[in-house]
Amino acid sequence: MVRVIVFDLDRTLVPTDLEKILFNYVIPTYIAGRHGLPISEARNKFYDELRKASRSCEALFFSLEVISELINMPYDEIIQILDGICSVVIRPDPSIISSLRFLKEKGLRIVVLTDTDTAIATYKIKHAGLSRYIDKVFSSTELFGKRKTVKIYLKLMDFLRDIGYASNPKEVLVVGDDIERDYKAPREAGMHSILISDESVPGIDAIRHLDELIDILQL
């Protein structure tokens, strides 16, 4: 029996990849203005420095604290910019909200496992109108130093067990849009998984919309 649903965030609960806007346009524009550079050159400069800073640890690539130091922008100012971007590009999706509300009412724990910075994830969730339905948000890069893999899901299982959410992997269902990280990796860790995809994939259990979970779980 499934007790916990672990959702990916981008393109699963939130339809847009906010980091692309922040990293490819907003921050390079800030750097370009400070140093008198073309935006394309500022973007390349930013990514070069970010790769160097995160060479020893993949987690640092998504860290807003590291980024604030690299571009010499106060952390609070980055957060304000992030909040502003979210308010423009993210809108609550009634169908997603309805599905999560129903799952919560049925007593399921709702967890988000994302590769990005927790602060970024939290603002995305807030502006998507999902905060009240999500019990925990975990960043695989912050907690475990890398993007989602089988080992990450095994470590996540330890967390879920410690906080009393689930006692074994068969009580956990992972839902996301990436075949390798959200579908195959959790299955290798002993969990259930379902792919969210607009297209059917041979040999893969997939849904198009979250409300299909209700039928699958027979709730």
Give 90-150 as a DSSP string: ----HHHHHHHHHHHHTT-EEEEEESS-HHHHHHHHHHTT-GGG-SEEEEHHHHHSSS--H
Q: How far apart are CA 9 and CA 207, in angstroms?
A: 16
Each of the 219 residues of the chain gets a pLDDT tens digit; together they read 899 999 999 889 997 767 788 889 999 999 999 899 999 999 999 988 888 877 766 655 677 888 888 889 999 999 999 899 889 889 899 999 999 999 999 999 999 999 888 888 999 999 999 999 999 999 988 777 788 999 999 999 999 999 999 999 999 999 999 999 999 999 999 999 999 998 888 889 999 999 899 888 876
The pLDDT value recorded for residue 52 is: 83
End-to-end Cα, the chain, rounded Å = 11
The dihedral sign for the CA sequence 72, 83, 195, 193: positive
Q: Which pair of tokens denotes residue 11?
A: 């393109």
The pLDDT value recorded for residue 57 is: 63
> What is the pTM (predicted TM-score) of this model?
0.89
Domain 4-15+91-216 has CATH 3.40.710.10: no
Q: Give me the numbers of helices (H) and strands (E) for the chain, helices first please.
A: 11, 6
Residue 80 and residue 26 in contact, taking contact as beta carbons nearer than 8 Å: no
The pLDDT value recorded for residue 185 is: 97
The pLDDT value recorded for residue 15 is: 78
